[in-house]
C-alpha cells in the first residue's frame, strides 16, 4: 500500500519536544494519484518571515500542519537537535504544553529560524 511520511513535532512524556516519523497510509484515489483519508481542518494562515527571523522558545498553541512554501526553516529542540525544512516539505506541529504545566523555556517547546538569503514563507493549517 502507498504511504506518505508524516514528520511530527510533539511533546514527549518528559515535557520536551521531539520529532518522530511514521507512515500515513494513502488508501483512496487512483494508482496515479493516491490520497489519504480526509482530515479535519480548522482554518489556515500564511506567514512571511524576513531574512534573519528567529523566534524564542515556544510551544504550539494548537496542533497544525506547517508547509514550507518558500525559503528554509530550521526547528531547534531543547536537546540541541535541529531539523531543516525546505520548499515543498512539511511537518505536523503538536508540541503543545502538557496539561496543567506552566511554560518553562528551559524545558518546553522549540525555536525556529529562517535560513539562507530569501524570506521564509509558510502555510499553517490548523488540525
**Alpha helices (H) in 1-127, listed in sequence order:** none
Residue-level pLDDT at 1: 80
- Give the helix/strand (H/E) hosting 41: none
Q: Which three cell numbers mark 11? A: 511533546
pLDDT in tens, the chain (127 residues): 899 999 999 999 999 999 999 999 999 999 999 999 999 999 999 999 999 999 999 999 999 999 999 999 999 999 999 999 999 999 999 999 999 999 999 999 999 999 999 999 999 999 9
Question: What is the full DSSP assignment across 61-98?
Answer: SS-EEEEEEESEEEEEETTS-EEEE-TT-EEEEE-PPP
* Domains of the chain, first to last: 3-126 (2.60.120.10)
Amino acid at each position: 500500500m502507498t504511504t506518505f511520511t508524516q514528520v511530527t513535532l510533539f511533546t514527549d512524556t518528559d515535557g520536551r519536544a521531539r520529532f518522530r516519523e511514521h507512515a500515513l497510509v494513502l488508501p483512496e484515489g487512483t494508482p496515479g494519484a493516491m490520497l489519504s483519508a480526509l482530515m479535519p481542518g480548522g482554518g489556515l494562515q500564511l506567514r512571511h518571515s524576513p531574512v534573519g527571523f528567529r523566534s524564542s522558545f515556544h510551544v504550539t498553541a494548537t496542533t497544525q500542519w506547517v508547509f514550507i512554501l518558500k525559503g528554509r526553516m530550521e526547528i531547534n529542540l531543547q536537546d540541541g537537535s535541529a531539523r531543516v525544512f525546505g520548499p515543498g516539505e512539511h511537518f505536523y506541529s503538536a508540541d503543545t504544553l502538557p496539561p496543567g504545566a506552566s511554560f518553562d523555556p528551559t524545558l518546553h517547546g522549540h525555536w525556529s529560524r529562517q535560513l539562507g538569503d530569501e524570506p521564509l514563507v509558510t502555510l499553517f493549517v490548523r488540525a
